Structure 1
Amino acid sequence: MKTIITFCALLLCNIVLAQYPDNTIETPEVRAEAERLTEIYSAELGLDGTQLPIFEDKVGDYLTLRKEVIETYQGKEALDKLTQLMVKESLEMKDLLTRIQYNKYKKIRQTVQPIKTVE
């Protein structure tokens, strides 16, 4: 009986914790930038009410990861890591956006969020 109760408790904990996505947004600046970028994308892609908050969270997560890469790596290694992040972000957006929205996203992504600006 004790093992059944323990199993049910573990199962319940997994179900409850699975409903909270892992967000990495940590600063108000990142949140503001994510909101700004989401507005730009929304104007171009026509995001609906269910896509908008998820899209904003994903953009914020990847902005935070991008910031960590820029602080940690330099040169070609940083560029490689940023490229990997961009590809990973694009693949996640493919799950969220419709096919038409995703094709348009791929076209405008580099102009809205360049990998790195050369000074």
Structure 2
Amino acid sequence: MKKLVAIVLLFISFSAFSQDPYLQKSNATAKEEAVKITDNYNLELSLTGEQQLLFQQKVEEFLIRRYKVESELKGREKLTVLYQLQNEETKEMNNILTRPQLEVYKQVKPNIQPLERVSKE
């Protein structure tokens, strides 16, 4: 019985410490764009050095996800998924930014990272 519990705990620990598959694949385009986006936000948010690094990594992670969505989906479905992705990104920025910075981030995000529009056909 102890061996069974040990094996189950071992498998749980493997899945708990696994890495995000989006971050395992480096994308030079996403990294360059993440740097530009972070610089634009930094003008508004006055990020600390540590915040800037974490912010840039988070932006890069979501850019890679965005590129995947844009290549696989079209129309309203793509826009819906991108909207959900943007909301998830905003929630995760809560762990990096202070409360006043987060409020400014929410205000300037539509200007710096706008969503596409679906045309009525």
TM-score normalised by L of structure 2: 0.78
Structure 2 CA distance for partners of 1:25 and 1:60, relative to 1, 3 Å: farther
RMSD: 2.7
**One-letter code aligned to 1:72:** E
Q: List aligned pairs for 1:1-119, cutoff 5 A.
A: 18=17, 22=20, 23-24=23-24, 26-116=26-116
**One-letter code aligned to 2:69:** V
Deviation sequence 1:30-71 (CA, Å, 0-9, x none):
110000101111111011011111100100010010010011
After TM superposition, give the deviation of residue 21 of structure 1 in Å: 5.9
After TM superposition, give the deviation of residue 25 of structure 1 in Å: 5.5
After TM superposition, give the deviation of residue 26 of structure 1 in Å: 2.3
Runs of 4+ off more than 4 Å: none
Structure 2 CA distance for partners of 1:43 and 1:25, relative to 1, 3 Å: farther
> SS in structure 2 opposite 1:50?
helix
Distance in 2, matches of 1:34 and 1:59, equals: 6
**One-letter code aligned to 1:69:** V
TM-score normalised by L of structure 1: 0.80
**One-letter code aligned to 1:74:** K
**One-letter code aligned to 1:26:** S
Paired residues in the alignment total: 111
After TM superposition, give the deviation of residue 118 of structure 1 in Å: 6.9
**Residues 76 and 118, structure 2, Cα contact 8 Å, conserved in 1:** no
Structure 2 CA distance for partners of 1:24 and 1:107, relative to 1, 3 Å: farther
Distance in 2, matches of 1:61 and 1:53, equals: 12
Distance in 1, matches of 2:52 and 2:76, equals: 33
Distance in 2, matches of 1:21 and 1:46, equals: 30
> SS in structure 1 opposite 2:95?
helix
| Structure 2: 5+ residue stretches without partners | none
Distance in 1, matches of 2:118 and 2:81, equals: 16
> SS in structure 1 opposite 2:49?
coil
Deviation sequence 1:65-84 (CA, Å, 0-9, x none):
00100111000000000000
| Structure 1: 5+ residue stretches without partners | none
**One-letter code aligned to 1:81:** V
Percentage of identical aligned residues:
33
